[in-house]
Amino acid sequence: MNKLILIVAMFVCMPGLTSGQRNAHWILGYNTSGFPNGFNDLFEINFSTPIPNMVLLDTVAFASLHTNTSISDISGNLLFYTNGITIKNAFNSTMLNGDTLNPNCNDYYFVNGAYGVNAIQAALPLNDPGNPNRYYLIHQGYYSDDFSAFPYPYYYCDTLYYSIIDMTLDSGRGAVISKNQHLWVGSLPLRQLASIGSLTACKHANGRDWWVISHRDSSSEFMTFLISPQGITGPFYQNIGPLCLEFKGQSVFSPDGSKYAFFQFGGSRIHLFDFDRCSGLFSNYINITNINAIHYGSIGAAFSPNSRYLYTSSYSKIVQWDTYATNIANSKVIVAEPDTIPCPNYNVYFYLMQLAPNGKIYVSTPSSSHCLTVINYPDSPGLSCDAVPRGLALPRSNGFSVPNHPNYELGSISGSVCDSLTSLTENSYLDRYTIKIVPNPGNGNFRLSFPVFGNEPSLLQLTDVFGKIIYQTHLTAWTSVYELELKGIVSSGLYMCRITSENKVAIGKLIIEE
């Protein structure tokens, strides 16, 4: 009986163990020959059990140095994985019609395509909200042109693609039924290009549909798409944040979908936004400068399971930032530095990051390594998060990649204006604005300023980070300023403020400090 209690306690105390398993299988390593070669072989990590299980895939001709993603069913059974060139099924064979993704692009590592698309987060699998047996794969390649007429960049992407997989075909192995369809088409002569990679997604506030996020190159403009049972709509453009040139670093949503961040590729700036899962809009942009100058390889980002702490990797450091802090830049804590013991041939430095189903964050290296860094308790502040550079021993070498996984298990925001499963197709008429909130942070009394909504009455709602409505009131027509008095009513913390009328919406974030 005591042994049973101990076993149960071990499961209860495991950090962040999730009920969903769509991100359970990670395919890492590389094997270009398809035969065992003793060192650079492929392997799989299965997170569907409390202790990750590793399986060698010695005879599978596949590799992913940067673009890497996979998806499983809700029970944790692997469905398919890809490196942006080929889609492999659960039997490690090329899926029917699953070859030659991203036509005409020449960005494959070592040219011959053996290692996949050489871009961070250039493929993203999403379950179809309208069909449980179908999946979207959002993907892109890019061109390299040393003779480009443009002085910068020499690398460019003028097309985003999607493909559709039907898992009922080929005896349950799946088949691609629509491949390389245009999601967005730009123009090189007109300088209408997309940032390369950094594709990510967040569940709509209805808990069913998907917001897919890309970015315009040489622009501060986000491109947002919505996947619903009616298909894909968009892009919808929003101009906010920094100028993004060519490549972005790793892009990530917080698990609760309220925040979005990316580390500027090769620089020392972290870009943080609030995100409205109902409207698909970003707000409250914060630029965090990584104070200790520029670190080579500044690229990785991941949020803690409780969505409070943002972790970033800059080759020689892993840093924790407290997004609840009044001054996020001053909350910086260096939680890991390189291990000086090779594993087995190179020291363990830091590259891309990914939150796993077991609630831990795993960090790849920018070179071949038999180790992943592990942040064991990412919900804990400072050094108590326990970041261990040699935290997970691997059976083979892995370099650069970890899979690109959104939060597949994020549910709806109960009680919000989106809880009736209203998609953007039905709400595309909404005009969207930002609320100016002063002071912010404040002690509970705030002055809200927003555009006049005309002769339409509106609804003001305040929700916590989990989407629970904390406060609401109706505003009269022609209102553009409102004194919000919450002192003694609402406790300290981060809240989302939303004003909606029949065809307009305004959003903002406020922080209450005692």
- Tokens for 73? 């069913």
Q: How far apart are CA 132 and CA 128, in angstroms?
A: 6
Tens-digit pLDDT profile for residues 267-287:
678 999 999 998 899 999 999
Tens-digit pLDDT profile for residues 245-254:
778 889 999 9
Q: How far apart are CA 247 and CA 118, in angstroms?
A: 11
Q: How far apart are CA 502 and CA 385, in angstroms?
A: 45
- Tokens for 488? 């003694």
Beta-ladder partners of 26: 45
Which H or E element spans position 9?
A: helix 2-13
What is the pTM (predicted TM-score) of this model? Answer: 0.78
pLDDT per residue of the chain (514 residues) written in tens, 0 to 9: 343 333 333 333 333 344 458 999 999 987 655 555 545 678 999 998 778 899 998 788 888 878 999 999 988 899 999 999 899 999 999 999 999 898 877 655 544 445 788 889 999 999 999 999 999 999 998 777 655 555 445 677 889 999 999 999 999 999 999 999 999 998 877 778 888 889 999 999 999 999 999 999 888 999 999 999 999 998 999 999 988 877 888 999 999 999 999 988 766 789 999 999 988 999 999 998 765 544 555 789 999 999 999 999 988 899 999 999 999 999 999 999 988 888 887 888 899 999 999 999 999 998 888 999 999 999 999 999 999 998 999 998 888 889 999 999 898 887 666 654 443 333 433 456 788 899 988 888 999 988 877 677 788 888 876 566 788 888 887 888 889 988 877 888 878 888 887 667 888 888 888 6
How many residues would you count in the chain? Answer: 514
Q: Are 322 and 306 in contact (CB under 8 A)?
A: no
Q: How far apart are CA 368 and CA 345, in angstroms?
A: 8
CA distances (Å), origin 95, targets 9, 129, 149, 256: 41, 22, 39, 33
Q: What are the structural domains of the chain?
A: 2-398 (2.130.10.10), 431-512 (2.60.40.3080)
Backbone angles phi, psi at 10, to 5 degrees: -60, -40
Chain centroid to CA 295: 22
